[in-house]
Amino acid sequence: MITMSAELVPASPEPPTTRLPETRPENRRQILAEAVALLPALPPADPLDRYAIRHITTLWLETDKTDHTRRAYYADLSAWLGWCARTGLDPLMARRADVDAWKNTLTVTGKDGLPRPAADSTVARTLAGISSWYRYLQSNDIADRNPVSAVNRPKTGKTPPLPALGGESTAKLLNHMENRARANDTEPSWRDAAVVAILFYTGLRVSGLTTATVQDLDTDSGHTILRYTAKGGHRDFVPLVPAAQHPLRRYLELRAARTGVRPDELTGPLLATMPHRYDGTKSGGKPLAQRDVWFLLRTQARAAGLAEANTISPHTARRTTGTLLLANDVPVQKVQDLLGHADIRTTRDRYDAHRHKLETSPVHALAQLLADARHRQS
């Protein structure tokens, strides 16, 4: 979390909050508006002014961002506005010198609870978030200048490779999840197995999985596919290989039986919470949150005996997918296509994107790689 150096600014209360809760489409704007109302240094909200700065800030957070980006941007903006409040600065009157003064106070709190200078990557990301806010204000004729635009940002260099599971560890986790589901044969166990299988066999971002609905399951050209909302809000799809389909279908069968409908009549989130065992007011059926997936991976990686259990996260699955494919000579262009990275080839998008994504998707190569590894462990 970013904090301010207390010795460099006048003492005053911290912003009411720097954490933004997870949001869902049906109540996202209300939650964001409530969070924005807590930000300091901005004029009070005016419900009669559609271009009031707090309303525009809410729309800035809501538009074309993932939940992860919203949380980061909100924390950055809260830190900047908190500094403005403590120093008596109107954010709309800020200049480069003010941003430089604030940048020089940025610290992070270590595990020992002590503050230390923020890393270059943290400073660069923080400035990018604040600059994005000012650009949005400018585009709506609210701010005359972007005081961050001329600020020197740290050069972070190339990002080192991020940790990922090896093939054997991935197979061990997948086998553990399916063996656990077979032994219990319960709805939550098969749901958990489906979560892990889909993440590792497709490389989906966790937000793409937690926002998917049952209606997003589809078939095309003989392939079972999952449609999802990609980063930036656009829709995409990925084939589901049989190893990912199996736990998902069993989970949906048990869920349908519990709710008294046929599997093809199910609606709602693809992966849903269960009714509370003791609290009848919590009927379940809500989408899994990203923290639920994080907790699931962490606890089940420990149960599976993975050495990487203490550092595993939903993004580990995505990194693992890309790493395994590249390490086994799958062309980098196909991996980029699967993971939805930048530089997607124009020719493929315009002429052959549909069949290419189905017939030659690297998820099929990944399924064979992991099937071999899982067979060696069984």
Is residue 315 within 8 Å of residue 297, measured between CB atoms? no
Read out DSSP for 22-81? ---TTTHHHHHHHHHTT-SSSPPP-TT-TT-HHHHHHHHHHTT--HHHHHHHHHHHHHHH
pLDDT tens-digit profile of 139-188? 999 999 999 999 999 876 554 455 789 999 999 999 999 999 999 999 99
Q: Is residue 150 part of a domain?
A: no
132 and 200 both lie in a single domain: no
Task: Note whether 350 and 244 are same-domain residues.
Answer: yes
Q: How far apart are CA 141 and CA 37, in angstroms?
A: 21
22-77: pLDDT as tens digits: 677 778 899 999 999 999 999 998 889 999 999 999 999 999 887 888 999 999 99
Contacts of 297 (CB under 8 A, 6+ apart): 196, 312, 313, 314, 316, 317
Share of the chain above pLDDT 90, in %: 63
pLDDT tens-digit series, residues 342-353: 643 322 333 234
Angle in degrees, CA 111, 98, 38, rounded to 5: 60
Task: Look at the pTM and tell me if it is higher than 0.75.
Answer: no
My answer on whether 192 and 84 are in the same domain is no
Cβ–Cβ < 8 Å for 201, 243: yes
What is the arithmetic mean of pLDDT over 353-365?
62
Domain boundaries, position 37? 27-139
Task: Tell me the mean pLDDT in the region 324-336.
Answer: 78
Contact 229, 243 (CB under 8 A): no
Per the prediction, the chain carries an average pLDDT of: 86
| Claim to verify: residue 116 and residue 221 sit in the same structural domain | no
Answer whether residue 260 is part of any domain. Answer: yes
Tell me, yes or no, whether 256 lies in a domain.
yes
Task: Identify how many contiguous H helices and E strands the chain contains and give both numbers.
Answer: 15, 6
d(CA 285, CA 187) in angstroms, rounded, equals 12
Distance of CA 315 to the CA centre of its chain: 8
Q: What is the greatest pairwise CA distance in the chain? A: 66
CA distance 149 to 102: 14
Please say whether the beta carbons of 118 and 2 come within 8 A: yes
- Where among 124, 139, 154 does a domain terminate? 139
Please tell me whether residues 173 and 271 are part of one structural domain.
Answer: yes
In a domain, 368, yes or no: no
Is 132 in the same domain as 229? Answer: no
Judge whether 324 lies within some domain: yes
Query: Do 124 and 45 fall within a single domain?
Result: yes
Q: Write out the H or E segment, with its range, that includes residue 367.
A: helix 363-377
CATH number at residue 235: 1.10.443.10
Domain membership flag for residue 378:
no
Total domains in the fold of the chain = 2
Domain limit, last residue, from 139, 159, 180: 139
Query: Do both 204 and 340 map to the same domain?
Result: yes
Q: Are residues 200 and 348 in the same domain?
A: yes
Asked if residue 312 and residue 235 are part of one domain, the reply reads: yes
Together in a domain, 325 and 263: yes
CB burial of residue 57 (10 Å; 0-12, 13-18, 19+): buried
Quick one: 255 and 134 in the same domain?
no
